[in-house]
Structure 1
Amino acid sequence: MTAESENGYPHVPAAARTVHIGGLTRSQLRQSLQNAGISLNAYAEELFADERFTTSDQPHTVETVELTVGELGFMDGAAAGEIFKRASALGLAACPLELAPHLRLQYTDQPEGSAERSVQHEAPHASITVASEPLSECDDFPKGFYLRNIDGVLWLRGYRADAVHVWNAWDRFVFARQTDWQGNCHES
């Protein structure tokens, strides 16, 4: 059972960012990450390699909001479906998958997290998960990206989680503010 807070978003301060996305192919975006010294894990590489990962032809901006699961009202944590449903009711939406690599390139002063404080099957300390629709419902395929800064190294990492995984109240997510932006997508 999830305890809900009436003082959650939009009544709490939230980190808002304008993220510039689009205008790069998937391979150009991957090259930009490499040129910037951004590290990727195997799950992130798997997402980049998938043909379903598309990018917008035209550059545009996405207004984002970063919140904890608790700030969305789930003080005991919640599964992704509940988190996304609450975010939608509050005027927030899943981000396009390509937002995560662009955010990683633009958000270079992320506070550092400790690799020692990571616990298996939990979002790592000081990580930020970018809320996006998964490319596949298969539990063995990565669901999306998260950002970390470990020992001064910026990471874009993919993650796997099943539909019943409970995110902790302190886990951080980035959502898009709901707008009518639409990007033209291409695949390579």
Structure 2
Amino acid sequence: MDRTAGKNVSCCAIQCHSPGWRRCGILIVAMLCTACTLLFASEARAQCTARDVLQNQLRLKKAPSADRPQIPIKSAVDVPVWKTITIGTFANFFALSNAMDAVGCGIGNSAGEILARPTFTLRDTKTSVKLFAVSAAELGFKTDTASLADIYARAKQLGFGLAAAEVGPQLRLQYFDQPIGEFLIIGMEPIRTWKGAPVILNVANGGAGLILIGQDGSADAQISVVSRFVFVRTNEGAPAEEQEAVALVGR
């Protein structure tokens, strides 16, 4: 039996050839199907749980990316691709939310709220997106903190672009081996909550499991310069209206 979540398996492939055993056979089939369903649901949910995260850390021995030296970069073209993900794989918010729940990935309150907003959109065709992870210090900031508007403006100057908001939950679903202690801020246009607060997404592993959270997306929000952002390159970014970094954070 293939125990890999997401693959087709034949848990229910049992046939009864004797009429006298038909009723018993049906019961056995039902019991096995139920057991298999619970088995694969359990394995899928384990992807984001704290125990599975710890097992991944011990197996892969990945160190938090914050431990890397903060060397300023001169241009986005000098930065290697950090990770390539696929977007456009869900028809609507409900399918995306169900996928997050199926693997046990947590969603913070503000993140969940903006994912349900009409301004959060999903691409209707599958597309590969190359992501680049850089800290504000690597962008050239030498102070302890910098405003979100300044970070976006500097990233744009170096050739980075803002990612589509969909990158946040998609990265969460495609990054199960995230090191403990890593928090990745998605460089994206803020989406406002129902009360009007601008929020951006953060793909995080605080040690208690993999989660997608929201954080202050206002223009003057102060961000530690050791914090890492996920951007795309300018020509691979979000739609043009989402790439005006300075203007968008002030909306």
Change (3 A) 1:146 1:70: same
8 Å contact 2:75–2:159 — kept in the other structure?
A: no
Q: Unmatched 5+ residue regions in structure 1? A: 114-125, 184-188
8 Å contact 1:14–1:66 — kept in the other structure?
A: no
Aligned-partner SS, 1:71? coil
8 Å contact 2:180–2:206 — kept in the other structure?
A: yes
Partner of 2:188: 132
Query: How many percent of aligned residue pairs carry the same amino acid?
Result: 28
Aligned-partner SS, 1:32? helix
Partner of 2:117: 50
Question: 1:94 is aligned with what amino acid?
Answer: L
Mapping of residues 29-178 of structure 1, within 5 Å:
29-76=96-143, 77-113=145-181, 126-136=182-192, 141-178=197-234
Higher relative contact order (CA 8 A, sep 6+): 1
C-alpha displacement of 1:102: 0.4
C-alpha displacement of 1:94: 0.7
Question: 2:131 is aligned with what amino acid?
Answer: T
Q: How far apart, in 1, do the equivalents of 2:152 and 2:195 lie?
A: 18
**Structure exhibiting the larger radius of gyration computed from Cα positions:** 2
C-alpha displacement of 1:163: 2.0
Q: Unmatched 5+ residue regions in structure 2? A: 1-69, 240-251
Question: 1:19 is aligned with what amino acid?
Answer: I
Partner of 2:87: 21
Cα deviation digits, residues 27-66 of structure 1 (max 9, x gap) = 1111111111100111111012211111000010111100
Q: How far apart, in 1, do the equivalents of 2:160 and 2:131 lie?
A: 8
Q: Which runs of 4+ in 1 moved over 4 A?
A: 11-15, 137-140, 180-183
Aligned-partner SS, 1:28? helix
8 Å contact 1:15–1:67 — kept in the other structure?
A: no
Q: Once structures 1 and 2 are overlaid, which stretch shifts more, 75-84 or 160-169? A: 160-169
More strand by share: 1
Partner of 1:123: none
Question: 1:96 is aligned with what amino acid?
Answer: A
C-alpha displacement of 1:180: 5.3
8 Å contact 1:47–1:53 — kept in the other structure?
A: yes
- Over the residues paired in the alignment, what is the CA RMSD in angstroms? 2.6
C-alpha displacement of 1:91: 1.4
- Aligned residues, how many? 167
8 Å contact 2:72–2:137 — kept in the other structure?
A: no
Aligned-partner SS, 2:95? helix
Cα deviation digits, residues 68-99 of structure 1 (max 9, x gap) = 10000012131111111111111111110000
Q: How far apart, in 1, do the equivalents of 2:88 and 2:236 lie?
A: 16
8 Å contact 1:47–1:142 — kept in the other structure?
A: no
TM-score under structure 1 normalisation? 0.79
TM-score under structure 2 normalisation? 0.60
More helix by share: 2
Question: 2:205 is aligned with what amino acid?
Answer: N
Aligned-partner SS, 1:179? helix
8 Å contact 1:46–1:142 — kept in the other structure?
A: no
C-alpha displacement of 1:112: 0.6
Q: How far apart, in 1, do the equivalents of 2:194 and 2:75 lie?
A: 33
Q: How far apart, in 2, do the equivalents of 1:66 and 1:180 lie?
A: 14
C-alpha displacement of 1:15: 6.0
